[in-house]
């Protein structure tokens, strides 16, 4: 397939078009994904999540700069960004503004940025985010940063998608609100208090450390005792604190490798995708075999209490899918 | 196959610092169901073309108030062409003297909008411009 070759050879237009195809799940893009899949699995996937306005996009920009201009003798890493923003539930449209903060990355051929709308998908990511990441991975990007929608329930999906999860907080957003977000702290591999130039940093930092301690106590120190989530301060406008953040990301990557968790996470990710796809496929097949009339009739019978819900399922599903 | 959304890049080339108009159009197009990528102020034509490529947009809207439209718009169009995006619909909004409009259209700009153009009109014309195109873009992936 020419498209696949082009993507593997670093053709950026081909890559961009493939990502569009994946979003609409076109035949050709799905086939290309099949062929590219064996080449993926090498990139370090970093999820950046947190409430809207905490500075995620600005921080992502600084992170990319740091990966592109490493100090010492390190080699610059080819870096991709997928920035997810919500679609309007009413119009289906979306305003994708994360690039505004990534202007310093322009003109670097080792960087690729893609904005993506959720298109009704819950959980802070788009349906096509996972496959887009696979394609970018296959295309040779060594670091892939995924910025999620900063809404409440983003936790689970990004936790599955990324190797390292950076949760971004900022002072002055109201600690009471954050108290309800214990879930997001639990998925954090690294906690960042951004906008360190703003008043109230110490307070936010203290508060987050307290929350972390509490949740690790509740967890009985069982889960990840070899990894202690660091709490770091950054200023995403000046880049202050970035060296420490980069260092923490590399340290986490080492930790994942040494503990074998890289493999476990990658496997869990694949398992998740597999199960999701199976469910979807079965549902599709069932829908193809079941008419709206069948469904309405079962509903009638149910309303008249002639059959029970379990029996309805027996008739509608068990007898159909064999 | 799911719906293929129209993707629009709204860009502000040049040095003037007013992006109210650009933002109004961006929001209107979002409300018309499109996915709008907004890149902020002071973009060079190179930055705009690079963003248009990475985002694989169907439409590029340039908001130009600086008076440099005769330089900026053709430059963006040439860059788009040279990277294989000759079918992208480019429109220009801003304060454009009447005598410059044919020059811009000649350079490949599809439509020029003056201040106060109703946004529904812009959305409608974008739809017309892209319906011919969007199918073809997906077809690009088909055979090979
Ligand atoms: N003072 C200050 N402002 C920041 C910092 N990081 C981001 N901002 C500003 O906060 C606003 C939101 O930033 P953005 O990166 O778009 O946040 P996101 O919504 O989480 O992606 C922008 O106006 C940024 O310029 C920071 O470290 N300090
Ligand atoms: Mg953002």
Q: What is the pLDDT of residue A178?
A: 53
Tens of pLDDT along A290-312?
Answer: 889 989 999 999 999 999 999 99
For A137-140, the CB contacts below 8 A with 24+ separation are A137/A39, A137/A40, A137/A41, A137/A42, A137/A43, A137/A45, A138/A7, A138/A8, A138/A36, A138/A37, A138/A38, A138/A39, A138/A40, A139/A7, A139/A8, A139/A10, A139/A15, A139/A36, A139/A80, A139/A112, A140/A8, A140/A10, A140/A78
Q: What is the pLDDT of residue A126?
A: 86
Size (chain A), residues: 322
Chain B residues with CB under 8 Å of A18 CB are: 141
Distance of CA A124 from the midpoint of ligand 2 (Å): 12
Considering only CA atoms, which residue is closest to atom 7 of ligand 1? A55
Q: How far is CA A125 from CA A96, A121, A129, A251, B93, in A?
A: 13, 7, 6, 26, 33
Tens of pLDDT along A113-138?
Answer: 999 999 988 778 888 999 999 999 99
CA distance A112 to A229: 29
Question: Does some domain include residue B119?
Answer: yes
Q: Does A100 touch chain B (CB under 8 A)?
A: yes
pTM over 0.90: yes
Check CB contact under 8 Å for A26 and B138.
yes
Mean pLDDT over A193-202 rounds to 93
The winner for highest mean pLDDT among A165-179, B8-22, B32-46 is: B32-46
- A97 pLDDT band (50/70/90 cuts)? very high
Check CB contact under 8 Å for A26 and B84.
no
**What's the mean per-residue pLDDT of chain A?**
89
Q: What is the pLDDT of residue A211?
A: 83
Tens of pLDDT along B97-135?
Answer: 999 999 999 999 999 998 889 999 999 999 998 886 554
Does B94 score more than 50 pLDDT? yes
Ligand 1: which of A105, A113, A198, A236 to mutate, most ligand atoms within 8 Å of CB?
A236
Q: Does A21 touch chain B (CB under 8 A)?
A: yes
Considering only CA atoms, which residue is closest to atom 26 of ligand 1? A195
Does B67 score more than 90 pLDDT? no
Question: Does some domain include residue B1?
Answer: no
Distance of CA A56 from the midpoint of ligand 1 (Å): 7
- Measured from the alpha carbon of residue A151, the closest ligand is 1
Q: Is the CB of A198 under 6 A from ligand 1?
A: yes
Tens of pLDDT along A220-276?
Answer: 555 556 888 999 999 999 999 999 999 999 999 999 999 999 998 889 889 988 998
Q: What is the pLDDT of residue A278?
A: 94
Size of interface A-B (CB pairs under 8 A): 115
Residue with the larger pLDDT of the pair A322 and B67: B67
Question: Does some domain include residue B2?
Answer: no
What percentage of chain B carries pLDDT values higher than 90? 69
Q: Is the CB of A52 under 6 A from ligand 1?
A: yes
Candidates A6, A4, A10; CA nearest to A33 is A4
Burial of A283 (0-12, 13-18, 19+ CB in 10 A): exposed
Q: Closest-CA residue in chain A for B12?
A: A100
Chain B residues with CB under 8 Å of A100 CB are: 38-40
- A16 pLDDT band (50/70/90 cuts)? very high
Considering only CA atoms, which residue is closest to atom 14 of ligand 1? A55
Q: What is the pLDDT of residue A181?
A: 63
Distance from CA of B102 to the nearest CA of A (A): 30
Q: What is the pLDDT of residue B136?
A: 44
- The total number of structural domains in chain B stands at 1
Query: Is residue B16 within a helix (H) or strand (E), and if so which, with residue range?
Result: none
Question: Does some domain include residue B18?
Answer: yes
Distance from CA of B99 to the nearest CA of A (A): 33
A143-147 and A44-49 as β-strands: parallel, antiparallel, unpaired? parallel
Residue with the larger pLDDT of the pair B69 and A184: B69
Say which CATH number the domain at B24 has.
3.40.50.280
CB atoms within 10 A of CB B4: 18
Q: What is the pLDDT of residue A182?
A: 64
Question: Does some domain include residue B71?
Answer: yes
Question: Does some domain include residue B57?
Answer: yes
The range of the structural domain enclosing residue B65 comes to: 7-143
CB atoms within 10 A of CB B38: 25
Distance of CA B81 from the midpoint of ligand 1 (Å): 35
- Measured from the alpha carbon of residue A58, the closest ligand is 1
Distance from CA of A112 to the nearest CA of B (A): 7
Question: Does some domain include residue B128?
Answer: yes
Mean pLDDT over A84-98 rounds to 94
């Amino acid at each position: 397939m020419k498209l696949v070759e082009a993507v593997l050879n670093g053709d950026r237009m081909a890559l961009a078009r493939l990502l569009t195809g994946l979003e609409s799940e076109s035949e050709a893009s799905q086939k290309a994904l099949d062929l590219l899949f064996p080449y993926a699995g090498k990139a370090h996937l970093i999820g950046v999540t947190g409430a809207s306005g905490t500075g995620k996009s600005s921080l992502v920009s600084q992170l990319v700069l740091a990966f592109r201009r490493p100090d010492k003798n390190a080699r610059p890493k080819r870096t991709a960004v997928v920035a997810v923003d919500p679609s309007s539930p009413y119009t289906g449209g979306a305003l994708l503004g994360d690039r505004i903060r990534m202007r310093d990355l322009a003109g670097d051929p080792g960087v690729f940025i893609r904005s993506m709308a959720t298109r009704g998908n819950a959980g802070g990511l788009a349906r096509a985010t996972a496959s887009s990441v696979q394609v970018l991975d296959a295309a040779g990007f060594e670091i892939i940063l995924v910025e999620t929608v900063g809404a409440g329930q983003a936790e689970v999906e990004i936790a599955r998608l990324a190797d390292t999860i950076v949760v971004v907080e900022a002072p002055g957003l109201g600690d009471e609100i954050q108290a309800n977000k214990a879930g997001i702290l639990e998925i954090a591999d690294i906690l960042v208090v951004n906008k360190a130039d703003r008043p109230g940093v110490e307070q936010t930092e203290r508060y987050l450390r307290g929350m972390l301690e509490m949740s690790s106590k509740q967890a009985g120190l069982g889960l990840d005792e070899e990894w202690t989530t660091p709490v770091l301060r950054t200023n995403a406008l000046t880049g202050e604190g970035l060296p420490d953040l980069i260092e923490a990301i590399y340290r986490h990557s080492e930790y994942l490798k040494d503990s074998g968790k890289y493999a476990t996470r990658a496997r869990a990710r694949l398992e998740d995708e597999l199960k999701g796809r199976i469910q979807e496929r079965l549902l599709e097949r069932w829908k193809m075999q079941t008419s709206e009339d069948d469904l309405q009739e079962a509903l009638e019978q149910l309303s008249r209490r002639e059959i029970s819900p379990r029996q309805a399922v027996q008739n509608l599903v068990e007898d159909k899918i064999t | 196959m799911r719906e293929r959304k129209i993707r629009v890049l709204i860009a502000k080339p040049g040095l003037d610092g007013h992006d109210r108009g650009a933002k109004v159009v961006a929001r209107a197009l979002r409300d018309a169901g499109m996915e709008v990528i907004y890149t902020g102020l002071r973009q060079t034509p190179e930055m705009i073309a690079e963003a248009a490529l990475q985002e694989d947009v169907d439409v590029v809207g340039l908001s130009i108030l600086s008076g440099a439209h005769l330089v900026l718009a053709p430059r963006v169009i040439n860059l788009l062409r040279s990277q294989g995006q000759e079918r992208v619909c480019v429109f220009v909004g801003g304060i454009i003297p009447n005598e410059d409009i044919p020059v811009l259209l000649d350079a490949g700009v599809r439509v020029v909008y003056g201040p106060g153009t109703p946004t529904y009109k812009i959305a409608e014309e974008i739809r017309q411009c892209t319906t011919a195109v969007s199918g073809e873009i997906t077809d690009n992936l088909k055979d090979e």
